[in-house]
Amino acid sequence: MRSAREYLDARFDRNVALEELADIAGLTPVYLCRVFQQEVGLPPHAYQIQRRVMHAKRLLLRGVPPGEVAIAVGFFDQSHFGRYFKRITGVTPNRYFSGEG
C-alpha cells in the first residue's frame, strides 16, 4: 500500500484511475480498494481528495486566491473544490482564505 499512497501523494493534482493505481501496487482494483481502506482508513479516491484539500489549505494560507487554488490542486472548478473543502474542513475556501477558518 505504501507504493499506492506515495503514487497518489505525488500526483494529488490529477485524477489517477483505479486501474492505474492497482497496476502500481500489483493488485486487482477491487483488492486494492479493500486493502487500501483497511490500511489507510479511506478508499483511494477519498484519500486523494484529502491530500488535495491539505495542499489547498497551504496555498490559501500563503494568500493564493481560492479560484487559483482549485485548479492548482486538481479540482475541475471552484464549485467542486468548495464543496469538498467545506465537507472536509467545515468552512468554505473563501472563509479559510480570509483567516476565518
Q: What is the pTM of this model?
A: 0.90
Say which residue the cell 488535495 belongs to. Answer: 52
The pLDDT of residue 100 is: 75
Task: Tell me what the pLDDT averaged over the chain comes to.
Answer: 95
Q: What is the pLDDT of residues 16-62, one digit of tens each?
A: 999 999 999 999 999 999 999 999 999 999 999 999 999 999 999 99
Across 75-85, average pLDDT? 96
Listed residue (76, 56, 52, 53) closest to 64, CA to CA: 56
Say which residue the cell 475556501 belongs to. Answer: 93
Q: What is the CA radius of gyration of the chain?
A: 14
Domains and CATH numbers, the chain: 2-97 (1.10.10.60)
